[in-house]
Amino acid sequence: MEVGFLQNSVPPDWRAMQPERAEEEIREAIEETRKNLDKIREFGAGGGEPTYAGTVRALDRATDSLDRAWTYLNHLQSVADTPQLRAALNELMPEVADFYSSIDLDDGLYAAVKNFSETPEGKSLTGDKKRLLGETILDFELGGAGLPPEKKARLRDISAMLAVKTQKFSENVLDDMKRFVLCIDSPQGLSGLPETAVALAKKKAEEKNLEGWAFTLDQPLYVPFMTYADSDANRMKLWRWSSSVASSGEFSNWDLIREILSLRDEKARILSRANFADAVLERRMAKSGRAAENFVDLLSRRFSAPFRDEWDELVDFARLSGYLKDGEKMPPWRTAYVSEKLRAARYGFDPEQMRPYFPLESVLSGMFGICEKLFGLRIKKSLSPRPSWHESVETYEVFFADGSLCGVFYADLFPRPQKRSGAWMNILSQRDGDSPALGVIAANISEGTDGAPPLLSMDEVETLFHEFGHLVHFFLMDSPEMGLRDVAWDFVELPSQIMENWCHDKSCLDIFARHWKTGEKMPGELFEKFDASRKFMGASASMRQLSFAKIDLAMHTDARRFISSGDIEAEARKILAPYSCDTSEPVPSILPRFTHLFGDSVGYAAGYYSYKWAEVLDADAFSRFEREGILNPEVGREFAEKILKVGNSVDPAEAFRNFMGRDPDISALVERSIETKKA
């Protein structure tokens, strides 16, 4: 019988995954998983001598079929959303969430694993097997397996409700963003914009059957407009739209935020944790909400004074240059525009000057070449036809140095109305025996226009390197125990963020930064201007990230403050005041469109600090490459062996020490972020 979401082949036939098949096949996978779990429970009820293979490993693999099918369905909804697909996902969401949450609450499964741990085999385990046993027992203990029945039932209800509400949060953001289109009908309204942005806006207008040029809230259109468009009125209009996404009307997310926080807080209290942050971070490097807050506050203190200095310099420049009148405060929609003018004046540098040197295919080829030098991987475009969910998606194969296939991944890089915004990596199925890994890197980058190939900004280049760093990390994890092919969320960004460093070195750029027309390397003078400007407004960028981490932790350590407030936005502004600038009007918080926190049952909730935490790790770890050779294959192989491959088979703090020989130091991050003042 033909199957859709239950396919085992890698890669699968995405055309067979039709929405009408989802409910039957996901429920079939649930039933298969139930049977797998029933066999394990027998060991908890005294049915024979428990073994590692029959308990710990069997439990680790029990959900394989459901994991894959559910991942496929969620993935399709994120890249090829349709009303039918969304309806199927929403119908199944509570049922699947409830089923998953029931596993860690199952006394029979817990008893089976505990019984095994007391056997001679259980007591003699070493290496990955010993660690997986310990992690599995901890999953049960932290998940609530020892709770009374009524509390377990409530935890299952909470999981199901969170799944539905966070999915609705994401849908509201996506649906509200689609409503906003700024149409410009005369060339005068395009003044200041780069040619690439103008061409892309023309193409967008044609897609929407509109006259002139269409600018949406998609990043490839929004960012250039806010940075370069001379029309202050139009920048104001676009900024107001962006700032209001999912904050009012039928797509408002404020009530959902309150409900999600309430459910998370209740879950933490049922688990006898002081707050949701403590419940989440217990298994991560930070260990607690307080420790994460202390980290954010420490970095904020280091960046606060430079942040204020940068703002004062920007305002002074704006007044001297005529972008602000005397006594006038900076409008928030003018900040990026004036910042770019200051950068150009200070360094003679415009980031758009780099774009012609970043044609997409060349960037991908260079990125693959750097990974081959560092990690011994060989990546090439698939020659055989592999149908996906959209004709623009490309398929690639990743090979080990010995020629064996490591994995297959899709590159889905261009925006579509049916695709969510942002950039991400997803593992669709793990490498398992002879079956290669399957993954996807997704982004929303500028498309090629007027005969030119897609030409990337430096930010987009960094994004590709970042997401590919995630992919390489998950493709290389090689523990035979699938449950150990994961890492703490405040460590997971290390392999992705460190990859961005190879975009900033001239010898690396010479590998792939070639002018799309002439093939010439990026001129040294242009690179020097870029390099000199890299720390420009660095403290401001850091404080922006830290502000997201601060409000995240505040909401998940003191949820009652926000749940009981009649105005969540007002509460957020009080907390974010030290991270805010004195603009002509308050800048609304990101909360109603903050899908990192509220668009997934857990996601980055109480964990947004992980970006900065991992940035400390990446800046420090990269200093070793700087000392021993940017493309030193020996250091690269050691990074792969000690950081990338180990997954959760080694504690992340220990893994870092194994590579660096010491604990992390924040100095490297601060040094690379703050511009040193010249006397």
pLDDT tens digits for range 23-50: 999 999 999 999 999 999 998 777 788 9
Q: How far apart are CA 460 and CA 443, in angstroms?
A: 9
CB within 8 Å of 609: residues ≥ 6 apart: 286, 292, 295, 296, 490, 549, 552, 553
Helix (H) or strand (E) holding 120: helix 120-123
Q: What is the pLDDT of residue 48?
A: 82
Residues 111 and 206 in one domain: no
Q: How far apart are CA 609 and CA 286, in angstroms?
A: 10
Residue 105 near residue 156, CB atoms below 8 Å: yes
553: helix, strand or coil: helix
Which of 207, 226, 244 finishes a domain?
A: 244
Q: What are the pLDDT digits (tens) for 341-350?
A: 999 999 999 9
Q: How far apart are CA 292 and CA 273, in angstroms?
A: 16
Q: Is the pLDDT of residue 676 over 80?
A: no
For residues 480-516, one letter each, b for 16 or more C-beta atoms within 10 angstroms of the residue's C-beta and e for the rest, the string is ebbbbbbbbbbbbbbbbbbbbbbbbbeebbebbbbbb
Tokens in use for 513?
């930064």
CB within 8 Å of 30: residues ≥ 6 apart: 66, 95, 96, 99
List, in sequence order, every residue forming a beta bridge with 196; answer none if it has no partner. none
* 447 closest CA partner among 664, 204, 147: 204
186: helix, strand or coil: coil
CB within 8 Å of 222: residues ≥ 6 apart: 215, 216, 238, 242
Range 77-85 average pLDDT:
95
Q: How far apart are CA 592 and CA 244, in angstroms?
A: 8
Q: How far apart are CA 346 and CA 338, in angstroms?
A: 12
Q: How far apart are CA 202 and CA 292, in angstroms?
A: 45
We report the CATH number of the domain holding residue 35 as 1.20.1050.40
List, in sequence order, every residue forming a beta bridge with 408; answer none if it has no partner. 397, 438
Number of residues in the chain: 679
Position 91 in a domain: yes
Q: How far apart are CA 112 and CA 92, in angstroms?
A: 29
Mean pLDDT in the chain?
95
Is 628 known to be catalytic?
no
Residues 516 and 636 in one domain: yes
Residues 119 and 186 in one domain: no
Position 477 in a domain: yes
Q: Is the pLDDT of residue 115 over 50?
A: yes
Tokens in use for 267?
């879950």
Q: What is the pLDDT of residue 322?
A: 97
We report the CATH number of the domain holding residue 375 as 1.10.1370.40
Q: Is the pLDDT of residue 658 over 60?
A: yes
To the nearest 10°, report the CA torsion of 240, 244, 249, 250.
Answer: 120
Position 520 in a domain: yes
Residues 84 and 227 in one domain: no
Q: Is the pLDDT of residue 273 over 80?
A: yes
Catalytic residue among 467, 481, 493, 500: 467
Position 513 in a domain: yes
Residues 529 and 433 in one domain: yes
Range 303-309 average pLDDT:
97
Residues 399 and 452 in one domain: yes
User: What is the sign, positive or negative, of the torsion defined by CA atoms of 141, 144, 170, 260?
Assistant: negative
Query: Which spans in 348-492 are helix H?
Result: 360-375, 458-476
Q: What domain range includes position 392?
A: 355-537+627-673
Residue 123 near residue 224, CB atoms below 8 Å: no
| Largest interatomic CA distance in the chain | 84
Backbone angles phi, psi at 630, to 5 degrees: -55, -40
Residues 142 and 184 in one domain: no
Q: Is the pLDDT of residue 626 over 50?
A: yes
What percentage of the chain has pLDDT greater than the value 90? 90
* 140 closest CA partner among 171, 102, 167: 102
Q: Are strands 394-399 and 424-429 parallel, antiparallel or unpaired?
A: unpaired
Compute the C-alpha angle 577/583/589, nearest 5°. 50
Residues 364 and 500 in one domain: yes
Residues 458 and 366 in one domain: yes
Position 67 in a domain: yes
Which of 210, 244, 278 finishes a domain?
A: 244
Exposure on the CB side of residue 658, measured as CA atoms within 13 A: 15
Tokens in use for 399?
């090979």
Q: How far apart are CA 529 and CA 79, in angstroms?
A: 37
Band of residue 677 on the pLDDT scale cut at 50, 70, 90 = low
Q: What are the pLDDT digits (tens) for 133-189?
A: 999 999 999 889 989 999 999 999 999 999 999 999 999 999 999 999 999 999 999
Position 292 in a domain: no
Q: How far apart are CA 133 and CA 49, in angstroms?
A: 17
Q: How far apart are CA 377 and CA 476, in angstroms?
A: 10
Residue 569 near residue 589, CB atoms below 8 Å: yes
**DSSP 8-state symbol, 12:** -
**Total count of domains within the chain:** 3
Range 314-329 average pLDDT:
96
Which of 130, 146, 162 finishes a domain?
A: 146
CB within 8 Å of 541: residues ≥ 6 apart: 673
Residues 434 and 360 in one domain: yes
- pTM here is 0.89
Q: How far apart are CA 242 and CA 218, in angstroms?
A: 10
Position 281 in a domain: no
Burial class of residue 71, CB neighbours in 10 A (0-12, 13-18, 19+) = middle
Q: What is the pLDDT of residue 421?
A: 82
Residues 214 and 359 in one domain: no
What percentage of the chain has pLDDT greater than the value 70? 99
399: helix, strand or coil: strand
Position 225 in a domain: yes
Q: Is the pLDDT of residue 1 over 50?
A: no
Residues 667 and 529 in one domain: yes
Tokens in use for 108?
């029979």
